[in-house]
Homo-oligomer: A and B are copies of this chain.
């Protein structure tokens, strides 16, 4: 029997975006020996109570107890399991400029099951160095290394103009999932998944909201 979700509640992208929020909250504020309820989380996150309840129901192994809620420690483990934080995924990163080296250095990814093994770049002054104890190899070795180590995840932090070419090399090396930080639309074969980390889009949402606020302020009242 496979571990499919019991109910028909879909594993939507939205759900996958909310779960890490719950997890942060639980880890920071919940007494792991105690219980926590959906209304409590909903209130803290300013989300609808039913939504949180459904989300928790979808991932909780043991369910909650009426009147008391969910065992916090178990719930944390359940969410982590659901999110796959206990399976390690190995990744490589192409582009070791500011952003690339920030990602290479970031300790927090371990927690999410992401292990960035090494970086690739084409600049001679970077190749051969190491960042946060991880080697930087020449970009020409990218395809080969991915193949040999059977890496499935590639992270792209090269300038926009190189991104497609780097992406093609990753795909040629057997990469199945690409996390793209370059502000371009990448074309990949159907069997490859792309996740765009769209900072411009984030920024736009923020500045639009801000513009509204400022307008209201000007209008008075």
Interface size class of A (residues with CB under 8 A): 35 or more
Would B106 and A205 count as touching, CB distance under 8 A? Answer: no
Would A183 and B24 count as touching, CB distance under 8 A? Answer: yes
Would B45 and A210 count as touching, CB distance under 8 A? Answer: no
Partner of A24, one of B106, B108, B185: B185
- CA–CA, A197 and B206, complex, Å: 11
| Closest chain B CB from A173 CB (angstroms) | 15
Q: Is A214 an interface residue (CB 8 A)?
A: yes
Q: Is A112 an interface residue (CB 8 A)?
A: yes
Would A16 and B205 count as touching, CB distance under 8 A? Answer: yes
Q: Is A64 an interface residue (CB 8 A)?
A: no
Closest B residue to A20 by beta carbon equals B200
Q: Is A21 an interface residue (CB 8 A)?
A: yes
Instruction: State the oligomeric state as a number of copies.
Output: 2
Would B184 and A195 count as touching, CB distance under 8 A? Answer: no
Q: Is A149 an interface residue (CB 8 A)?
A: no
Q: Is A199 an interface residue (CB 8 A)?
A: yes
Q: Is A213 an interface residue (CB 8 A)?
A: yes
Would B195 and A205 count as touching, CB distance under 8 A? Answer: yes
Q: Is A153 an interface residue (CB 8 A)?
A: yes
Give 27 pairs: A residue, B residue, CB < 8 Å, sorted on A: A16-B205, A17-B198, A17-B201, A17-B204, A24-B185, A44-B185, A83-B204, A84-B211, A98-B101, A98-B106, A99-B99, A99-B106, A108-B183, A112-B200, A113-B207, A152-B210, A153-B206, A153-B207, A153-B210, A176-B210, A177-B209, A177-B210, A177-B213, A179-B203, A193-B206, A195-B203, A197-B202
